[in-house]
Amino acid sequence: MYGNRGIRCRNKKYLPLLGIEEKKSLLSVIKSFLNLKNDASDEIDIQQYNKEIDAAMERIDNGEFTTHEDLEKEIETQLIDENNTPIPEWQIKEIRERKEYYKKHPEELISWEAAQKMIRIG
């Protein structure tokens, strides 16, 4: 059916399209294949989560962030990452498609303040 290369290409194409719940489900299947059912190394408690959110908000308040416009410029110029790996064309295409979608559907955008409220738990 598919060789390793074909599988890798399809993974790169389809994984970013999954929602968070689908990604969680897929991860649990992968863990079950590898017998990692009790692997909680990437989980944090609510206090740690909120502490990380507070630290991130402080960095933002101190001006330590990248604007959407700057990120768009980086994508458009296809900057090279630290491993000298070009940004994949599918990723650039996806960003462009999302940008066009939100231009046509601005009612689906949310404010920064609303996003902050959504990510804060507790």
Is residue 81 packed enough to be buried (19+ CB in 10 Å), middle (13-18) or exposed (0-12)? exposed
φ, ψ of residue 29 to 5 degrees: the values are -65, -45
The residue that leads in pLDDT, 23 or 77, is 23
Q: What is the pLDDT of residues 51-71, one digit of tens each?
A: 999 999 999 999 998 888 888
Bridge partner residues of 80 (DSSP): 86
pLDDT value at residue 6: 76
- Which residue ranges make up each domain of the chain? 1-42, 44-122
Confidence category of residue 82, pLDDT binned at 50, 70, 90:
low
pLDDT value at residue 113: 82
| Torsion, CA 59, CA 64, CA 70, CA 71, rounded to 10 | -50
Average pLDDT of every residue of the chain = 79
Q: What is the pLDDT of residues 89-110, one digit of tens each?
A: 888 888 888 888 888 988 888 8
Q: What is the pLDDT of residues 33-55, one digit of tens each?
A: 777 555 556 678 888 888 999 99
